[in-house]
Amino acid sequence: MSAQQSDVITRPVIDLAKAKADYARDGYCVIPDVLSQSEVAEVRRRVLEQAEAEKAVGWAREDGGPSQLKKVMEDQAGALRENVSEIKGGVNQRMNFLLNKGRVLRDLVTHPIALELAEHVLGANFLLSSFAANIAKKGGVLEPLHRDAWWCPMPARKGDAYVKVGDRGRYTLDAAPQGVIMPPCSCNVVWMLTDFTEENGGTRIVPGSHLRSDNPDASVPHKVPTIAATGKAGSVVFFDGSLWHGTGQNLTDEPRIGLLAYYCGPQFRQNENFFVGLDPAVFEAASDRLLDLLGFSTWIYLGQGDALSSRKRLRAREPWIPEMRRNVRDSASSRSPTFAAGNASDS
């Protein structure tokens, strides 16, 4: 019997009913044994190979360094600084756009468990917002608490002051009226490729904070009690986009590796721009389900193309209706009018 066959035969039954109950109460749940150990090893090997290569050519994005924390705290109104290299103080390595970086990675975003959890929270229609890796290493510091759905505007009573939707930042400190919350707009499926423990930087979370009407203070050390989301390699931690959380501090000598598949409602802008950044070869090989998740389909009338591309699912390089002009050669003619393609310089 092969190792792969053994994995399939001995894989435990996954209790999604318990997971959903835990999520409803705490805003998160941990589901063990979603991936077999051979699957974990294959995915982890691809991630580490990619991370090493990106670092070798100077493309690594590394954050979480002690010298970076003050800069983050000074920029309360904006997002975390991007593309920070290790020489500037970064420690933890992040990798974005994993869809371009291996079939074994792409397959995770359409995993049946991930899709069932996302549909449970977001409904029948949802998008993949981003798929990224977070490799927490020794020397990194606690990440400020935040909500992944920080971009979602807070409800306000008539006449109350509010933060305009275009002025929101990752650490905006505003609050909805007491007892009022937004319905879930996003959720995270975090794939544990190593054990997540208290010691190695398991994601810090504030259980039940998805039901709070305010946003977290971004101070480090954290001003509220947190716990680590822990589990064995192959587990998934699933949490609400409004749950207060942040990367933990890895005190061990081994990297803690997690893959973050972030899903959102169909009416929201995605973190990663798949229309611009997706490798054409990946697009051509993608399943219809993956294309739907990336936004290459319409939801009601959002995301529609032109009349020639009005089918449910859009493909690249389909014909579109160009800029046109009406040519009337003979106003007395009873013939149907003809049209000629225009040029942008004609306008």
Domain boundaries, the chain: 3-272
Under the banding of pLDDT at 50, 70 and 90, the label for residue 310 is very low
Contact residues for 247 (Cβ-Cβ < 8 A; gap 6+): 64, 92, 134, 136, 140, 142, 143, 201, 203, 204
Distance CA 293, CA 126 (A): 7
- Taking alpha carbons only, the member of 14, 46, 6, 9 closest to residue 235 is 14
Cis geometry, peptide bond prior to residue 322 (ω within 30 degrees of 0): no
Answer yes or no: is pLDDT of 185 > 70.
yes
Give 26-49 pLDDT, tens digit per residue: 999 999 999 999 999 999 999 999
Contact between 101 and 52 under an 8 Å Cβ cutoff? The reply is: no
Could you give the CA distance from residue 53 to residue 42 in angstroms, rounded to a whole number? 17
Q: What is the pLDDT of residue 345?
A: 41
What is the CATH T-level fold of the domain 3-272, as seen in this structure? Answer: Jelly Rolls (2.60.120)
Please tell me the predicted confidence (pLDDT) of residue 302: 86
Look at residue 171 and give its three-state secondary structure.
coil
Beta carbons within 8 Å of 114's beta carbon, 6+ residues apart: 108, 189, 236, 261, 263
pLDDT at 152: 87
Residue found under tokens 């019997």: 1
Residue 12 in 3-state DSSP? Answer: coil
Q: What is the DSSP string of 179-247?
A: T--PPP-EEEEEEESS-B-TTBTPPEE-TTGGG-SBPPP--SS-SS--EE--B-TT-EEEEETTS-EE-
* CB-based contact 38:2 (threshold 8 Å): no
Question: Of all helices (H) and strands (E), which one includes residue 5?
Answer: helix 3-10
pLDDT band at 332 (very low <50, low <70, confident <90, very high): very low
**112-126 pLDDT, tens digit each:** 999 999 999 999 999
- What does the chain come to in residues? 347
Q: What is the per-residue pLDDT for 186?
A: 97
pLDDT at 127: 98
Report pLDDT digits (tens) over 86-104: 446 788 999 999 999 999 9
| 3-class secondary structure, 294 | helix
Q: Output phi, psi for 312, to 5 deg.
A: -60, -40
Say what the pLDDT of residue 3 is. 45
Q: What share of the chain is helix, strand, coil (3-state, %, to 5)?
A: 30, 20, 50
| CA–CA dist 228, 199 (Å, integer) | 9
